[in-house]
Amino acid sequence: MDSLKKPVVAGNWKMHKTITEARSLAAEIASKAAEVREATLILIPPFTAICEVKKAVEGTEIKVGAQDVFWEDQGAFTGEISPLQLKEAGCEFVVIGHSERRQYFGETDETVRKKVLAALRHNLTPIVCIGETLEEREKGQTLEKISSQLEKSVFTLSPQDFQKIILAYEPIWAIGTSRNATPEQAEEVHSFIRNLIAERYGKTQTSCAIILYGGSVKPANSFSLIREKDVDGFLVGGASLEAESFLAIAREAVRKNEG
Ligand code: PEP
């Protein structure tokens, strides 16, 4: 059952690409999307480019997401973006709690929790990021950190809501560093997360849960990572900024379910 899940490959473009550049990257990926129909592709451009990216992928199965969301629907919150606005712009997914938001913009497990609820209220699928720092890993605190982040941000959800979210394990020391977690390191944390889900929500929920790995995923390391039992796909930063490397990762991801 687990092995037949469609791998998810999401490209987080961060603060890269003007509208023109985003349109052209999305169109290039869209032109070849049929080759990787067995994966769910999600493009996550900056807010300004969401509408154009949505138009560029029309007629394909590619989905569009946003990089953050605020927890209120509207109001005096200068600079924020609401789930309503994202929904109308064409988003189906939203990244919440990315480590760069936590590190530079004061995101906490509590704000992640509120944003997840807001996203779910509007039928946006949250992609919730969790992960440890290098210092925490070196001190042997990785699993403790993961467990604490999950407890405070998403394990408060009802079972019905929990099954609507995607988790992304992103060790902070692996993001943008060209130093990916080894397949064994990724699997250790992914299977730990799956066990926690089983304890909290039961066996069925855990086999359906989608847990992505993120952190220096490249075409060359993606097959060894996706081959791990509990890795269901990727959240890709740098390598999603070029169509060929993003598609190459998706091609590797679909091999998980081949033979
Ligand atoms: C990310 O930003 O979520 C990420 C995983 O980045 P990179 O692939 O560049 O490490």
Q: What is the pLDDT of residue 183?
A: 97
- Whether 120 maps to a domain, the answer reads yes
- Whether 2 maps to a domain, the answer reads no
- 10 Å Cβ neighbour count for 1? 7
- Whether 40 maps to a domain, the answer reads yes
- Whether 85 maps to a domain, the answer reads yes
Q: pLDDT, tens digit, for every residue of 133-181?
A: 999 999 999 999 999 999 999 999 999 999 999 999 999 999 999 898 9
Q: Which of 216, 221, 240, 249 to mutate to test the pocket of ligand 1 (most atoms within 8 A of CB)?
A: 216
- Whether 126 maps to a domain, the answer reads yes
Q: In whole angstroms, give the CA distance from residue 235 to residue 215.
A: 8
Number of H helices, E strands in the chain: 12, 8
User: Does 225 contact ligand 1 (Cβ within 6 A)?
Assistant: no
CA distances from 56 to 19, 31, 40, 66, 133 (A): 11, 10, 17, 16, 37
User: Does 193 contact ligand 1 (Cβ within 6 A)?
Assistant: no
Instruction: Tell the residue nearest (CA) to atom 3 of ligand 1.
Output: 237
- Whether 34 maps to a domain, the answer reads yes
User: Does 210 contact ligand 1 (Cβ within 6 A)?
Assistant: no
- Number of structural domains, the chain? 1
Q: In whole angstroms, give the CA distance from residue 80 to residue 99.
A: 18
- Whether 136 maps to a domain, the answer reads yes
User: Does 12 contact ligand 1 (Cβ within 6 A)?
Assistant: yes
User: Per-residue confidence at 204, pLDDT binned at 50, 70, 90?
Assistant: confident
| Residues acting as catalytic residues | 98, 170
Q: For residue 28, what is the domain's CATH number?
A: 3.20.20.70
Q: What is the pLDDT of residue 1?
A: 42
201 CA to centre of ligand 1 in angstroms: 29
Strands 63-66, 166-169: parallel, antiparallel or unpaired by DSSP? Answer: unpaired
Mean of pLDDT over the chain: 96
- State the residue range of the domain holding 71: 8-257
Average pLDDT score over residue span 180-192: 97
User: Per-residue confidence at 259, pLDDT binned at 50, 70, 90?
Assistant: low
Any idea which residue has 């290039």 for tokens? 28
| Contacts for 41 with CB less than 8 Å, ≥ 6 apart | 9, 10, 11, 29, 33, 61, 62, 63, 250
Instruction: Tell me which H or E stretch contains 51.
Output: helix 50-56
- Whether 3 maps to a domain, the answer reads no
